[in-house]
Amino acid sequence: MATTATLLDTPFKKEVFEGLSAFPKYLSSKYFYDKKGDKLFQDIMAMPEYYLTGCEFQILSSHTETIGELFRDRENGLDLIELGAGDGKKTKVLLKYMAGHNFNFVYKPIDISENAVEKLSENLATEMPALTVDAEVGEYFEVLERLKGFNKRKKVIMVLGSNIGNLKHPKAIEFLTKLKDAMLPDDLLFMGFDQKKNPQTILDAYNDEAGITAAFNKNILTRINRELGGNFDVDKFEHWEAYNPETGTAKSFLVATEAMQASIEKLGLTVNFEQWETIHTEISQKYDDKIVQWLAEQSGLEIETSFTDEKGYYKNYAFRKV
């Protein structure tokens, strides 16, 4: 007979088991992403309410040369390593500049979604065939140890899309500290941070009327059904978004609209829900300069410079190791 240990033989299985056995229940937003989830997130990024993508695209488009030259190493070239590369739409602005201005570099996109990595690699091979691309599927924390091996020349580590916002501050400090530990004095960390703003603007970005964000959150239940033999009735869960302007934390939940029971065959798990019980699926942290400065100091980093969009909604910071 299979033991719990043998059943939980992948991170997905282990984290789903732990999250749905806990009280209150939770699931990780990193598991929103599969083929369907990737497409839904692209739809979210195209929504007018979801300002983050447009603001960061504006920053990279308006400051392409300044950012590119900040990255450049004329002597030995560089490795441009992007964590959470996704579809690479924003990064391509920089890649085109670097490829067209005699940069000696390798682009290494890393993403948890195998589908996203494959599509990005194919697109880049078509759009920029001369570009050297060394793509990899993996999670941030898995990859961090391997980054230390990139020590023969300058590296620039890029994390766009305010992906740091999916981590609570203690976990963000742990993540930034590990990035710092992988960096040499000439290396750069280039990272996007969504800024605090009108709370309604933030709520609208994560709670669109078309229901795309709701479908994105519910996709984790669809994945559990498909991949782990679950029998969740996805339509009996509502997506709910809350934002606390004091802490700058946006939280996403799936809320059970009635009392029910769900089973997950491959985990040997039965999950009971009271009516209105929640599954916490995601946090999206918002920042200001003071918080980013504090996170940097706690992590052994210093801010070299920053860039913002015309509305001041979003910022990209360049950090060095102290």
DSSP labels, 131-150: S-B--EE--HHHHHHHHTT-
| Number of domains into which the chain is organized | 2
Residues 251 and 306 grouped into a single domain? no
Q: How large is the C-alpha radius of gyration of the chain?
A: 20
Give the model confidence (pLDDT) of 1-10 as tens digits: 455 666 889 9
Q: What is the pLDDT of residue 175?
A: 95
Distances, alpha carbon 83 to alpha carbons 3, 19, 33, 137, in Å: 35, 25, 15, 10
Which helix H or strand E contains 58, and what residues bound it? helix 51-62
Give the model confidence (pLDDT) of 36-74 as tens digits: 999 999 999 999 999 999 999 999 999 999 999 999 999
Query: What's the CATH code of the domain at 69?
Result: 3.40.50.150
Residues 185 and 263 grouped into a single domain? no
Residues 180 and 309 grouped into a single domain? yes
Q: What pTM was computed for the model?
A: 0.91
Residues 176 and 239 grouped into a single domain? no
Residues 73 and 97 grouped into a single domain? yes
| pLDDT band for position 279 (cuts 50, 70, 90) | very high
Residues 122 and 82 grouped into a single domain? yes
| pLDDT band for position 301 (cuts 50, 70, 90) | very high
The parent domain of residue 84 ranges over 63-195+287-321
- Within a domain: 56: no
Residues 73 and 142 grouped into a single domain? yes
Is residue 79 over pLDDT 50? Answer: yes
Alpha carbons 310 and 257: distance in angstroms, whole number: 41
Residues 219 and 155 grouped into a single domain? no
Residues 33 and 81 grouped into a single domain? no
Q: What is the pLDDT of residue 144?
A: 80
Residues 20 and 96 grouped into a single domain? no
Contact 292, 310 (CB under 8 A): no
Residues 30 and 156 grouped into a single domain? no
- Within a domain: 55: no
Q: What is the pLDDT of residue 6?
A: 66
- Give SS3 for 282: strand
Alpha carbons 206 and 250: distance in angstroms, whole number: 8
Distances, alpha carbon 312 to alpha carbons 163, 194, 246, 306, in Å: 18, 10, 19, 12
Read off the DSSP letter of residue 30.
G
Give the model confidence (pLDDT) of 235-266 as tens digits: 999 999 999 999 999 999 999 999 999 999 99
What are the φ and ψ backbone dihedral angles of 303, each rounded to 5 degrees?
A: -80, 125
Q: What is the pLDDT of residue 1?
A: 46
Contact 197, 313 (CB under 8 A): yes
CA nearest neighbour of 300 among 178, 161, 140, 166: 178
Contact 40, 116 (CB under 8 A): no
Give the model confidence (pLDDT) of 99-151 as tens digits: 999 999 999 999 988 888 999 999 999 999 999 999 999 887 788 888 888 88
Contact 47, 208 (CB under 8 A): yes
Looking up tokens 């809320």 gives 255
- Within a domain: 58: no
- Give SS3 for 124: helix
